[in-house]
Chains A and B, each alone.
Chain A
Amino acid sequence: MNKRILIVDDEPNIVISLEFLMMREGHEVRVARDGEAGLAAVRTHRPDLVVLDVMMPKLDGFAVLEAVRADPGLAGTRILMLTAKGREAEQNKGLALGADAYMSKPFSTRDLVDKVKELLDRT
């Protein structure tokens, strides 16, 4: 059950916590600090799941999501959106663009771990 996880977020402390959680579950974790780097990492490393923040410098999460979904080669990539913007409209937008799940900050670590597990099990 060893999966590749990509964490794209510009908040260092959140990245640390996410990294710790994913690694504890036994996944292989990579980190990107902004949207551009995140998209590049998706293309090169082909992660099974991306934990994607919305508000980021250079390219925001929605743009990264769109780009990934537009690429047929990346069709199997599951994307979990994570955002501090908790409005419903944002959530709907993310789901409409093809996000597999949407969680708002601050998040429950247990829920997050469960959600990641669920998404990875769907394969």
Chain B
Amino acid sequence: MINGPLIIGISFAYLGLLFAVAYWADRRAEQGRSVIARPTIYALSLAVYCTAWTFYGSVGRATENGLGFLPIYLGPTLMTLLWGSLLLKMVRVSKAERITSIADFIASRYGKSQLLGGLVTIIAVIGVVPYIALQLKAIAWSFTILSHYPEVRMPVHGNGPFWGDTAFVVALLLAAFTILFGTRHLDASERHEGLVAAIAFESIVKLLAFLAMGLFITFGLLGLGGPALPPIEDSPLLLPLLEPSISPFADWFAISLLAGLAVMLLPRQFQVAVVENSDERHLRRAIWLFPLYLLLINLFVVPIAIAGLLTFPDGTVNADTFMLTLPIVFEQPWLALLVYIGGLSAATGMVIVETIALSTMVSNDLILPALLRRWRRRPPAADLGRLLLTIRRGAIVVILLLGFLYYWLAGEAYALVGIGLISFVAVAQFAPAVIGGLYWRGGTREGALAGLSAGFLVWIYTLLLPSFAKSGWLPRAFMESGLGGFDLLAPMALFGLSGWNEITHGLFWSLTANIGAFLFVSSLRAPNAAEASQAGIFVDASRRTALASAPLWRGSAEIAELMRLAERFLGSVRTRAAFVQYARSRGVDSPEALPADAETVYFAETLLSGAIGGASARVMVASVTDEEPLGLDEVLNILDEASQIRAYSRQLEQKSQALEAATEELRAANIRLQDLDRMKDDFISSVTHELRTPLSSIRAFSEILFDDPDIDFEQRRRFLGILVSETERLSRLVNQVLDLAKIESGHADWRTEVVELQTVIHQAVSATEQYVEERGCRVHLDLPDESAMVWGDRDRIVQVLVNLLSNAAKFAPTGSGEVWIRLSPADAVWRVCVEDNGYGIPESDLELVFEKFHQTARGGAKPGGTGLGLPISRRIIDNLGGRIWAESTPGKGATLCFELPAHPGNPTDRRPDHEPNHE
């Protein structure tokens, strides 16, 4: 009952239905009631990811390696987690810049480079055309298999002329259909509403077909009706399905990553997910709905694979055809037809969208730049729009014919069968440039070119050429031993890396080369003005809700020129409409009144970008305007005022904090200075007071002696004695004040020498001998035999000792004074104590005695000193690294001690005159 004409009829009916859906959606769009402005439609259109390779191939993959088909869907599912940032940025940037394709996207990011756009296009075409061939093959085969109903017969490849091949007819039909939908307008950045609606519809059809088939088989397996399947045995064929494993993990990881990248970077995925996106909020639903779709379409893969292996145990039926051959063998004609339609949906959806995306890239990034170069010499025809449409249509036909040609030549070869993942690896090469470009400002045009080239060359070497070799088109020896017979260069085990499957291996090396070259070459120079400007737009995309169209352009332009330019590509009606709308948005009555400033030029360039791509648009606009090049500094200045202002305010904040801290420091310093000033005042006041006292006596006695010549001799002599001693006191005071000032200011000269304390003590004792005797005092020495060596300034130490000795003698009771000098070692120091048997020092004064001009009247008598002796001693000992303090039992005398660090080693060795004589 199923025959060729019926299948053809149904196929055409189905395509007609698609056409009707698309037409209806376009009409709705024109009436302003867009059907695709729904998040569900957007999510379903993303399912163009599931091609015939999914529809038929998943079952085939499952029969070979169990769950090995899953990472292809697991990767995209995991990747949706990142869409909130990654895909959102891509959508925002693309809308603002009117990006038309992945090639346009990458070219725009790196300073609108035509060369880069061209390279991306070439990689995409080479990588994806075999994949298109796979779809053509699927349609042709499913048609052939179904036409033999109820017989199960595998199609034979390539008998007869190519024009008789079903695939050829299919290719031509699809070309026509694609042209009808994809190139009605020139502006590729305008959404193809009808097309998207049709794709979403196809997604529903293929899912329903797969689910119907899955339920039918599962019921059979469970014995709930459906087909009578043989019982499941422990057949070795079923082993991978019955005992699934996820090893080796490296392959799972690699293929998940690969598929996750492909779901955004494949030209058709970029087309539906980014270019056709009508509202970035749709992403939110897609993030869960799209993974759900992937889950549903994979739900019955394993049961169908098991049923297929049970039904066709001898291996004569290709596992990729189980979807179709199972309903045939169980004589379910309507189910078989439904599956056929589902497969047709999957294949046509992919082919149409992919071809539109590729043709846009080919015309905008390959052919147009070449034409632009030619037009520089020869002026182009007036209506460029029509010419461009023709180019794009031609590209569609050529791409589909290339697909057919590859299918025709490759046939059953591995180069076609295994092309799915190999294609994915090719487009994965866009990842460093795209993702790096969205998150890193440092990427340059050369970096992206180097990365893409390196990755693509490694891809050819490790994946494409081996697939040719496996197909027998190249000597197999090439695969095993590599170029020139170097084992290290073996394409399947590059640099000795083996143990991974070929996809993992190829992905690893190509991405390593790609990322390495991208980063290294980018690091060779700082981004130039154009790159830095684009980097700002791309990297900051998620931060700005409405992309500020930061136009980085300076020069002179004429509105009329710009409009004439746009008219040549878009036609006068659309150009006029666009300019009028733009003029209104800027509050100007007519386009002619628009200011020819950077913003307007940017608008014109973006308008043209939608038609001919960013790189070409820049060249075209530059040809009618007079642009002054902006220096990098200028670009960076204008580029991100907001971020600069942020930076400034942050700096300001920091500075004001620093200022506050400085103020605090200054305040503290000021307080310290005030304290010092007060101390200085006090000191001066103390000094003057101390000076006035002896001066008073001197003046008084001088006047007495002068006024009264009759004073008797004894009296006179006594007064003169007072005069002499007060003068001495005065000069001692002056000397000590100067000495103290010198030590305190750090200007004192300190000698460092090895000093023996015993010697110093004897020196001090003889210096004070006279005074001590006058006081009727006895001095006792208690010194060890071992020489007490310290580092220090001999004279200064003598000064301290003299001070302590005369103090002790002064405070000891007159006539019965006893002074002890004790020298003893302590923990790494030498300690000298001078003890008297005077009244002692009250405990509260033990520290005060070291303060300037603090004189304790011990036992009621006013001491005759300057009040500077102990303060000076303390400063000397501090300076020599020791410490000085007072101890006292009030009433029983005071002890003043100091310690100095002991000089290490045998001191006698250090004396020059004791050095061993080597003569």
Contact = CB atoms under 8 A, between A and B. Distances in A.
Interface of A: 10-14, 16-18, 20-21, 24, 33-34, 55, 57-58, 84-87, 104-110
Contacts of A110: 703, 707
A109 B700 contact: yes
Given A34-B860, A84-B689, A108 B703 contact: yes
Contacts of B697: 11, 13-14, 17
Task: Give chain B's interface secondary structure class.
Answer: helix
A106 B699 contact: yes
A17 B701 contact: yes
A10 B700 contact: no
A57 B845 CA distance: 14
A107 to B, nearest CB: 7
B862 A33 contact: yes
B191 to A, nearest CB: 93
Contacts, number: 72
26 contacts: A10-B857, A13-B694, A13-B697, A13-B722, A14-B693, A17-B697, A17-B704, A20-B704, A21-B700, A24-B708, A57-B860, A58-B857, A84-B689, A84-B690, A84-B693, A84-B696, A85-B689, A87-B685, A104-B692, A105-B695, A106-B695, A106-B696, A107-B696, A107-B699, A108-B699, A109-B707
A14 B696 contact: yes
A55 B689 contact: yes
Interface string B332-372: 00000000000000000000000000000000000000000
Contacts of B700: 14, 17-18, 21, 106-107, 109
Contacts of A107: 696, 699-700
B696 A109 contact: no
Contacts of B699: 106-109
Interface string B685-719: 10011101111111111011001100000000000
Contacts of A20: 704
Given A10-B857, A14-B697, A33-B860, A109 B704 contact: yes
A57 B692 contact: no
A12 B862 contact: yes
Nearest to A107: B696
B516 to A, nearest CB: 84
A45 B402 CA distance: 137
A13 B700 CA distance: 10
Nearest 6 pairs of A and B residues by beta carbon = A17-B700, A84-B692, A105-B696, A106-B696, A13-B697, A106-B699
Contacts of A10: 857, 862
Interface centre among A55, A84, A86 (most CB of B within 10 A): A84
Instruction: Determine the main DSSP class of A at the interface with B.
Output: loop
Nearest to A105: B696
Given A11-B697, A17-B700, A110-B707, A86 B692 contact: yes
B584 to A, nearest CB: 84
Contact of A11 (B685, B860, B862): B862
A92 to B, nearest CB: 17
A108 B706 CA distance: 12
A60 B692 CA distance: 18
Contacts of A11: 693, 696-697, 862
Task: Report the contact-size class of chain B (Cβ under 8 Å from the partner).
Answer: 20 to 34
Of A10, A13, A20, the most chain B CB neighbours within 10 A belong to A13
Contacts of B860: 33-34, 57
Given A17-B701, A17-B704, A106 B692 contact: yes
Nearest to B711: A20
A55 B695 CA distance: 16
Nearest to A111: B703
Contacts of A55: 689
B845 to A, nearest CB: 12
Nearest to B697: A13
B597 interface: no
A113 to B, nearest CB: 10
Interface in B857-872: 857, 860-862
B558 interface: no
Of the candidates A14, A86, A110, the one having the most CB atoms from chain B within 10 angstroms of its own CB is A14
A110 B725 CA distance: 23
B890 to A, nearest CB: 16
Contact of B704 (A14, A21, A84, A105): A21
B887 interface: no
A13 B695 CA distance: 11
B726 interface: yes
Contact of A57 (B693, B703, B725, B862): B862
A7 to B, nearest CB: 12
B857 A57 contact: yes
A20 B703 CA distance: 12
A55 B703 CA distance: 24
Contacts of B708: 24
A16 B857 CA distance: 19
A84 B688 CA distance: 8
B463 to A, nearest CB: 100
Given A11-B697, A12-B862, A13-B726, A105 B703 contact: no
Interface in B481-508: none
Contact of B722 (A16, A18, A84): A16
Nearest to B701: A17
A37 to B, nearest CB: 9
A31 to B, nearest CB: 13
Contacts of B689: 55, 84-85
B234 to A, nearest CB: 116
A54 B33 CA distance: 106
A85 B685 contact: yes
A104 B704 CA distance: 18
A21 B857 CA distance: 27
A57 B700 CA distance: 23
Nearest to B695: A106
A87 to B, nearest CB: 8
A21 B726 CA distance: 19
Contacts of A84: 688-690, 692-693, 696
A88 B860 CA distance: 30
Nearest to A84: B692
